[in-house]
Amino acid sequence: MWHGILKICIINTQKIGRMTIDLMDYVIEFHKDAERQGPGSDEATRKALQYIPELSENARILDIGCGTGAQTMVLAKNTKAQIIAVDMLQEFLYKLQEKIDRKNLNNRIVTKKSLMDNLDFQEKSFDVIWSEGAIYNIGFEKGLLEWIRLLKDGGYVVVSEISWFTDKRPKEIEEYWIDAYSEIDTIDTKLSIIEKCGYDPILHFVLQESCWMDHYYTPMLLRSDSFLEKYNYEEGAKEFIKMGLDE
């Protein structure tokens, strides 16, 4: 039997997938110095961790779409496990590596550049797969189906995923999010997808509003001016910031 923990959150970086290479430069430049590249909090990471049995020195965690590693560092501090942190953007991994060096955690955390739908690891080699604000990049169902092969028997998956809290919502909001992420759905539907993919849902919780406002949106707003200045207010940079503010 597979175990899975669903951590629900609203992700607001959906547009990245559609960006051109030029826009990718903006994404990297705008987000690489940020603590987080998606909504979340150290507290939420610790909360989800509580529901997993204690991990020994031999346990292995795969942190997928780790970004600059906010959750990676919390996992390292609150477990004894070995952590492999993967992301497709080397610039984010360099930032995480700086944190690892500062905390002398090279014996605990390894970074690796990799696409999340092409993970070159041995089958059944991880006790836990962790992915905050990232699975939507390949789709919730595809990610869960793809990653299960990497889990040891009885292993755990912890993911966050944008979900509707209710069955009804304003049309404008619904249209916006469906356009941004066609797989967006209710928590109940996500739970049934988890089961369909062969996992046994253990628990889910909704991220607090502060995970988005204090830890994600507000820092983004605060970075906007210096970002625009850096790019001499060029049109592309302005458009990029406007896209973020529309969210």
89 lines the binding site for ligand SAH (CB under 6 A):
yes
Site string for ligand SAH, 133-172 (x = CB under 6 A): xx--xx----------------------------------
| Residue 107 phi, psi (nearest 5) | -80, -5
Coil, strand, or helix at residue 5? strand
Which residue in 169, 212, 156, 173 sits closest to 40, CA to CA?
Answer: 212
Cβ contact 66:73 at 8 Å: no
For ligand SAH, the binding residues in 54-73 under the rule CB under 6 A are 65-67, 70-71
Paired strand residues for 156: 128
Give the interface segment with ligand SAH, choosing from 127-135, 165-173, 192-200, 225-233 (CB under 6 A): 127-135
Nearer to ligand SAH, 48 or 89 (CB): 89
Continuous H helices in 50-89: 70-78
Minimum CB separation of residue 225 from ligand SAH in Å reads: 22
Task: Out of 4, 10, 30, 40, name the contact with ligand SAH by CB under 6 A.
Answer: 40
Q: What sign results for the dihedral spanned by CA atoms 8, 158, 23, 229?
A: positive
Q: Token match 């941004």: residue?
A: 180
Residue nearest to ligand SAH (CB): 67
- Residues at the contact surface with ligand SAH, assessed by CB under 6 A: 13, 36-38, 40, 65-67, 70-71, 87-89, 92, 115-116, 132-134, 137-138
